[in-house]
Chain A
Amino acid sequence: MDYITQGFKEAIKLLISLDKEVFKIVSLSILVSTSATVFASLISIPLGVYFGIKRFKGKRMFSRITYTMMSVPSVVVGLVVAIILSRRGPFGQFDLLYTKKAMIIAQTLLVMPLVFGLTYGLAKSRGDIIERVAFTLGANKFHTVTLIIRELKIDILVNIATAFSRAISEVGAVMIVGGNIKGYTRVITTTISMMNSMGDYPMAIALGLVLILISFVIHSIIYSYSQED
């Protein structure tokens, strides 16, 4: 049991002393996951709303596929991105593998189906009445989609937070496409995984605490905002 308490003590020390390495890892994690969440949201939210309110043949099957894609394993996404970006792959010429950009691409692709699926489900269940009202007031498709996004903004923000949580806490995709290179592509989750296999717990615990803290802060902000609204 001693090694656990010792691990916690050293972890707190690392955090209080604003350890340079911890700081670098945390900032890179936030940068990669925030970028991925922003890109995924910009694409998936309007599309999710559009398809959520659209009536088309095969929507049931479309829904099933959408919800299945939401839980696609991160290692699979990592593997696909790695294959595409590898030297022999179709985008090999851009030399992106083992870079931050590759990690952002992988996480964007990982959370896109999640944001899309959550927004799609939301628009499907609650967008109908808003769409009807918008239609009767003369709104076109663009106005309708933007109106629904505005009306459901709190739920959409919660979806975005969920996507960010998924991105920042996943390890498979960033490990495969980033390579966990020290000072360059090492993020919180890949470090925790590595430290755990090395038996170096203080750093792993410190980063674990930061991960929980980040999640807490984001969800607290959204909760306060939803209460105000």
Chain B
Amino acid sequence: MEITIENLERYYGDRRVLYIEKMEIEKGKITAITGPNGCGKTTLLNIIAGLDREFSGVIKYDGKYLNRETVDKMTIVFQKPYLFRRTVFENIEYPLRIRGINKVNRKPLVVDLAKGLEIENLMGKKAHLLSGGESQKVALARALVFKPELLLLDEPTSNIDPDAINTLEREILKFNKETECTVLIVTHNMEQAKRLGNRIIELSYN
């Protein structure tokens, strides 16, 4: 999915927290967004995800404005993921279940992702009791399971151990390569931006 942004502005009260005159996010590529704290990185992701509609300007998804169809094709992984009070398996299969995919077809998709993210041993565990790294892996698996065309990642590897970071990065790259999904990742870590991003965009204040 290709994203085009023009004259995007977001205010909190009188304070402008984000202004983008023009930005294009290339289809099928990984774009890393970096920048100092408070420059509007997370705000930008929330706006693209459709979670924040209090903005002015134009955002188009494959040339169209945000609609139900677009929302169904994209997802976001938050810095602090919220996992449902269910098992890991039930968390990951949730997007498939609400899309009406039957149980028989859901299972292999969930298991396959869980193996890749090295969480297959956690499938029966209650997700809200997992550690930070494990939670982030489950959140990523839940986001990838329905093969979105646009994946938004808001600092998905902050506060987790290096092994988990490697696994997550490997799976993000693999997913992007296999599905040609557009990935937009917000990160503080320039090294990570270089490792993952085909392109790096640096946001500055206002």
Contact = CB atoms under 8 A, between A and B. Distances in A.
Interface of A: 129-130, 132-133, 135-140, 143, 147, 150-151, 229
B75 A136 contact: yes
Contacts, number: 40
A109 B151 CA distance: 47
27 contacts: A129-B82, A130-B84, A132-B51, A132-B82, A133-B78, A135-B51, A136-B49, A136-B51, A136-B74, A136-B75, A136-B143, A137-B75, A137-B95, A137-B98, A137-B142, A137-B143, A137-B146, A138-B72, A138-B95, A138-B99, A138-B146, A143-B98, A147-B84, A150-B84, A151-B84, A151-B85, A229-B85
Nearest to A147: B84
B168 to A, nearest CB: 18
Given A132-B51, A143-B98, A138 B71 contact: yes
B61 interface: no
Contacts of B76: 136
Given A138-B72, A138-B75, A138-B146, A133 B82 contact: yes
A140 B97 CA distance: 12
A202 B51 CA distance: 62
A147 B98 CA distance: 10
Nearest to A131: B51
Contacts of A136: 49, 51, 74-76, 143
Contacts of B85: 150-151, 229
Contact of B50 (A130, A133, A135, A140): A135
Nearest to B128: A151
B59 to A, nearest CB: 16
Closest 9 CB pairs of A and B: A137-B95, A138-B72, A136-B76, A143-B98, A133-B82, A136-B75, A129-B82, A139-B98, A132-B51
Interface in B67-96: 71-72, 74-76, 78, 82, 84-86, 94-95
Nearest to B99: A138
